[in-house]
Amino acid sequence: MATISVHQAVTIEATAFGRKHTMTKQKRGLARGLTNYGDMDFSLYLRRANAASMGYGSEILHKPVVGIADTGSGFNNCHRHVPELIDAVKRGVLAAGGLPVVFPTISLGETFLSPTSMMYRNLMSMDTEEMIRAQPMDAAVLIGGCDKTLPAQLMGAANADIPVISLITGPQLTGHSEGERLGACTDCRRFWGKFRAGEIDQDGIDKIETRLVTTSGTCAVMGTASTMACITEALGMALPGTAAIPAVHADRLRASEASGAQAVALALAPDAEKLTPRKIMTPAAIENALRVLLSIGGSTNAIVHLTAVAGRLGIPIPLDQLNTLSDETPVLIDLKPTGEHYMEDLFKAGGMGVVLRELKPLLNLDCITVSGQTLGERLEGEPAYVDRAVVRTMVDPIQPMGGLVSLFGSLAPGGAILKRSAADPALFETEGRAIVFSSLEDLAARVDDPDLDIEPNDIMVLQNAGPKSPAAMPEAGYLPIPKKLARAGLKDMVRISDARMSGTAYGTIILHVTPEAAIGGPLALVRTGDRIRVSVKNRSLDLLVDDAELEHRRAELPKNAVPSPPRGYQKLYYDSVLQADAGCDFDFLRDPSLL
């Protein structure tokens, strides 16, 4: 049996912690990136001895290694089936002649994290990046799905020098209650709204609780997780046709097996030809992903995540570019919260292949994907079938323009986002009186106060819910309609904040106001009674208060309103997090060319 020796190794110069030193790097498998004990032959010997203790025969230890990122967690219901996916990936790796090695990373279960999973997305990206880099693998399969996991993994993978395949966990199936079809979490919000409006009682809302999320997988609508899944496939980082397969469908296991096998194929390529994430996530591929985001009526969160992913690669996504693309890209799919259907319907309708085929005239077809094919080559092989109730044509779209629009003006010099596809067009040109809540705590304390002075044509404003606020930019931008207005039948009103909104939510909700209130952005200067003007037609968002008054208010703002926490990850987060227009990435992770 042949033994890999460090004498076959390539010696390279590397820089770590500012010091230049020589390290030895093997080309393949367990001999990659050896632990430094000062004697590299001993390092390899010791590693193999320890690997042998796990019961491997010596022959298999010479195979190319495919790392499989395990994001299963008891705190992540959306990833409940990850162990089964891992088994299928392993099968694919072994059948293709590789050695599968599972490794854990942080998992982010959207509803289990406080104050918000967003605070931990960058941490997960660092975990993913460093574990790919530090451990000896020739390729990696990253299993992700729940909201922040896929973007964190893409951010982490962006700078990997090995091939990476995203394996999407897949969406939940819908549930039923008394003949009504239900899916998380648009229907969670719909029923909660009915409960708040007094249309259903406590028994009614309790009964629905076990009917909303009935299988493993990610939220059943075009929420953030599904949006990121579609974007990941559009970027070319997941195998074709895998974004919409339901989590519990046998095709999901076949996709897992195929991802494992393809990872081996990519691992075996010569170093110079390795299909690394940087070769896949090019500016052209990012533009394709933006087109897809707009055409699927995708989540507002996705623009923040895609900006962060692209930012790791030095690719800027200016919000005015989003508007240009949005004007040219129609909404093609009819999924909640924009439309009527669920992710399993998109799968049955033909999946992302159909959407990409419809969008073909707008896409950059030369982009390479993890399959080894270009996007154009992939689309030549797409089946003809499509359910037009779910995926429409470019000439007969759901909406003629893209789902998202960015607004700029004196209230948001750095921009704000509106998901117009899920908003009420009757509110697109609005001037109204601001009703200001200074924090989430203030909102909770007063929004349902019967004495709150608020009318249906007022504009609700929430301050101090941005990335540097104590709340760390939670999905709280979907401000509840005050109970007294909800009970009078009001379904929507303009709401503005520096927070985010769940991709499963809907309403005329303006988010990600930049710069945020906590760092003294104009949002911090708004007072109840001020006039605000929103114009989607003009892409504008303005605070109608004169400059002298604003300067006076600015002088009264507290200094150092958000002091840095004393220690730990919280300190790293608050010291380093950037604004929404930079993807809320950490300053030291974003490509320096963009800072």
Residue 215 CB, nearest approach to ligand FES (Å): 12
Burial of 59 (0-12, 13-18, 19+ CB in 10 A): exposed
Contacts to ligand FES from residues 433-452, by CB under 6 A:
none
Token pair in block for residue 155: 């951010």
CA distance 358 to 270: 35
Residue 350 CB, nearest approach to ligand FES (Å): 23
Q: Which stretch binds ligand FES (CB under 6 A): 218-226, 258-266, 327-335, 486-494?
A: 218-226
Helix pair 319-328, 283-295: axis angle to 10 deg: 60
CB 531 within 8 A of CB 362: no
* Residue 146 makes contact with ligand FES by CB under 6 A: yes
Q: Which stretch binds ligand FES (CB under 6 A): 217-225, 250-258, 308-316, 411-419?
A: 217-225
Strand order in the sheet with 164-168: 99-104, 65-70, 139-144, 164-168
CB 332 within 8 A of CB 392: yes
Contacts to ligand FES from residues 184-213, by CB under 6 A:
185
Q: Which stretch binds ligand FES (CB under 6 A): 199-207, 219-227, 374-382, 505-513?
A: 219-227
Number of residues lying near ligand FES (CB under 6 A): 10
CA distance 392 to 300: 22
Contacts to ligand FES from residues 329-358, by CB under 6 A:
none
CB 496 within 8 A of CB 461: yes
Contact residue for ligand FES among 147, 334, 358, 475 (CB under 6 A): 147
* Residue 223 makes contact with ligand FES by CB under 6 A: yes
CA distance 194 to 171: 25
The residue (of 226 and 323) whose beta carbon lies closer to ligand FES is: 226
What distance, in Å, lies between the first and last C-alpha atoms of the chain?
Answer: 52
The residue (of 150 and 160) whose beta carbon lies closer to ligand FES is: 150
SS (H, E, C) 126-151: HHHHHHHHHCCCCEEEEEECCCCHHH
* Residue 319 makes contact with ligand FES by CB under 6 A: no
* String marking each residue 48-87 x if it binds ligand FES according to CB under 6 A: ------------------------------x---------
* Residue 382 makes contact with ligand FES by CB under 6 A: no
Q: What is the DSSP letter of 272?
A: G
The residue (of 212 and 416) whose beta carbon lies closer to ligand FES is: 212
Contacts to ligand FES from residues 105-124, by CB under 6 A:
110-111
Residue 535 CB, nearest approach to ligand FES (Å): 33
The residue (of 225 and 412) whose beta carbon lies closer to ligand FES is: 225
Residue 579 CB, nearest approach to ligand FES (Å): 25
CA distance 511 to 501: 7
Residue with tokens 């509840």: 480
The residue (of 280 and 333) whose beta carbon lies closer to ligand FES is: 333
Q: Which stretch binds ligand FES (CB under 6 A): 134-142, 157-165, 216-224, 299-307?
A: 216-224
Token pair in block for residue 464: 């101090």
The residue (of 98 and 298) whose beta carbon lies closer to ligand FES is: 298
Contact residue for ligand FES among 43, 105, 216, 218 (CB under 6 A): 218
Token pair in block for residue 126: 């660092």
CA distance 382 to 392: 16
Residue 38 CB, nearest approach to ligand FES (Å): 46
* Residue 298 makes contact with ligand FES by CB under 6 A: no
Contact residue for ligand FES among 155, 162, 208, 225 (CB under 6 A): 225
CA distance 568 to 580: 23
Residue 146 CB, nearest approach to ligand FES (Å): 3
CA distance 396 to 391: 10
Token pair in block for residue 463: 């301050």
Give contact residues for ligand FES (rule: CB under 6 A): 78, 110-111, 146-147, 185, 218-219, 223, 225
